[in-house]
Every structure is written in structure tokens, then in C-alpha cells.
Amino acid sequence: MKPAETILLDHGSGGRASQELIKNIFLAQLDNPVLACLEDSALVETGAGRLAFTTDSYVVDPIFFPGGDIGELAINGTINDLAMRGAKPLCLSLGLILEEGFPLADLQRVIASVRTACNRADVPVVTGDTKVVPRGKGDKIFINTSGIGLVDPGLDISSRNAGPGDMIILSGSMGDHGITILTQRAGISLQGNLRSDTLALHRLVQKMLAAAPGAVHTLRDPTRGGVATSLNEIAAAAQVAVELDENQLPIKPEVGAACEILGMDPLYLANEGKCLALVAAEHADRLLALMRSLPEGADAAIIGRVTKGPAGRVRLNTAAGGSRIVQSLTGEPLPRIC
């Protein structure tokens, strides 16, 4: 296939096109061992401790949605990227790109959400920047949040550490955020309580790490591209296979209904307050019970396991008793979900 010569919406959807952009342009030019890990945060040895460092831009449309807004999403999302390396979040930056004409009342509302999310998570914004672009050269507000965390010496949470026999825990229901944004954009109003799951997971993660030292091998928050894409990336990084049980996938009834209407597969929908934890089998039940005892993990479920191979393959045992391959998100432009 001839490669695209311009940026397509698909390049921003977190699936295969995004990965090709990363490989062909970013890694091809900027390659270094830390960047090449392609984890949720970079780990940097400073001589004065180990730091986790991460960045994310938020361009979600609409900026206000049931369950949250772009400000809350930006704070929680970057905290989660730090948490997925086992880091204790230390501080955040806040970079705004505002469109001329954006109402100051909306800016106030977004920054109030930033404050609430920071206070709730106990992680401060310590530095910021604001740029303004003319009307029609941006879209209301884009937010970049970068974050720094501290990682205990010896702690090694990484996609590459997923090993055969590991059990895969998902901390709660799938697709809540993605389907909320998509129904808002489609103008669909449904019965029930569709809302974003935006939530900071650093406390949940710290409790898991403390409860079973060494048992948590891999953590990933399945945002763009969803559970399917995250597991494909993990399987490729660790050179293992993954087996999922469709019967065990936690999906809220209203999310399932909305997915049917819109023709979406919840495995590919973004989550903003969930993590995948790949853990040693002998600790899986205990960790699951711990997660379920916490509000962030009340609906956690063991959704599958890691097997030896073939490397990079994700297979789903269907509810009907069959089995199918689950690939990374491909060719579905689902941009501006986060």
C-alpha cells in the first residue's frame, strides 16, 4: 500500500496508523533507548533518583461531556500515564492553546475542573503556558499536560515484563469514555447513565504494588485504541500471546446498547479511568479482591491470560464458544476522543 502523504485523522486514533507514524518518523529520527521503550512514561535515571516523565495533549470534542471535561481529563490522564510505570506523581505542567473568541467563562469552568482534579489527586500544577491562535486556526481549547513522578529503585513495571501465565485484570468496565464522546458527537441521547469514566488511578496502583511486591508485571491504561490495541502492543513488546474471555469482559449495559446502535466494538473504545494489570497468577485473586474493595476498581475482572505465543497475537474466546483474532485498531478514524 502506498503510504499516505498527508496526515489523516486515523494517524491520531491510537491504532496502527499512529504506530506507523511513531516508527517511521519519530523513532527513525529521534531514536534513543529511553524514547524507544514507548511506554506510558519515560523512565529517566538522574543520579538523584529515578523519574517518570510523560506528556499528553488533549483535543477532545466536545470539551464538556457527561462525567467530566477536557480539564479533568488532562489531569487524570497524565497522572495515569505516570501511574502505569508505578510512579508516584509529583507535579504537572499545564500548556493551553486557546482559540480567539473562546469564552472566558468556559476557560474558568475548565480551570476549575483542573483544580478539582488536582486537589482530588493531590498532585499540583507547578508550571504553565498559554498561547492564543486566531479564530478558525484552533478549536476552543487544547490542553497539554506533562507530568513527573518518582519511581522506587528496583521497581520495573513495563510492557516487556508480561510473561506466560500472567493473569490479565481490567480494573472496571470497558468503553465508557469513548462511547460517551461518540454519542455526544452523534447527537444521540440514550436511556441510562452514559458517562466518561475519567479518574486518577495512582492510589489504586500504589496499593496494588504494596500488597504484592513484584507481582505486578505490566500496567497500561487502555485509552485511544482501547483494550484491544493496548493488549496488542503489550503482546508485541513482550513477545507473548494473549487470550481473552469475552464472557468475562465487564461492559455496562448502556455502553453495550450504545455500541450496538453506533456499530462500535467496546474492545476498541477509549477508557480514561481504567487500567490493565498483568500480574503473576498466584497473586491474581488477591489483587482482584483488593481492586474490588476500592472505588476505582469496584468492577474489576480477570479478563484473560498471557500465553507463550505466537508472539504478538491476541485471541478472544467468544461468548458463543468460538475464537477470533483481535487486532490493533486499524483504519477507523476515532479522533478527538481525548
| Segment holding 44, helix H or strand E | strand 42-45
Shortest CB 170 distance to a copy of itself, Å: 23
Shortest CB 67 distance to a copy of itself, Å: 20
Rg (CA), the chain: 19
Nearer to a copy of itself, 22 or 211 (CB): 22
Nearer to a copy of itself, 106 or 299 (CB): 106
What CA–CA distance (Å, rounded) separates 265 from 250?
A: 13
Strand 141-151, strand 64-65: pairing:
unpaired
Shortest CB 184 distance to a copy of itself, Å: 16
- Specify the residue for cell string 486514533: 13
Nearer to a copy of itself, 137 or 308 (CB): 137
Shortest CB 115 distance to a copy of itself, Å: 5
- SS in 3 state form for 135-195? CCCCCCEEEEEEEEEEECCCCCCCHHHCCCCCEEEECCCCCHHHHHHHHHHHCCCCCCCCC
Shortest CB 324 distance to a copy of itself, Å: 29
Nearer to a copy of itself, 107 or 280 (CB): 107
Nearer to a copy of itself, 250 or 333 (CB): 333
Shortest CB 65 distance to a copy of itself, Å: 17
Return the closest-CA partner of residue 143 out of 104, 114, 117: 114
Q: Helix or strand or coil: residue 265?
A: coil
Nearer to a copy of itself, 112 or 190 (CB): 112
What CA–CA distance (Å, rounded) separates 47 from 92?
A: 22
**Residue 286 CB coordination number (10 Å):** 14
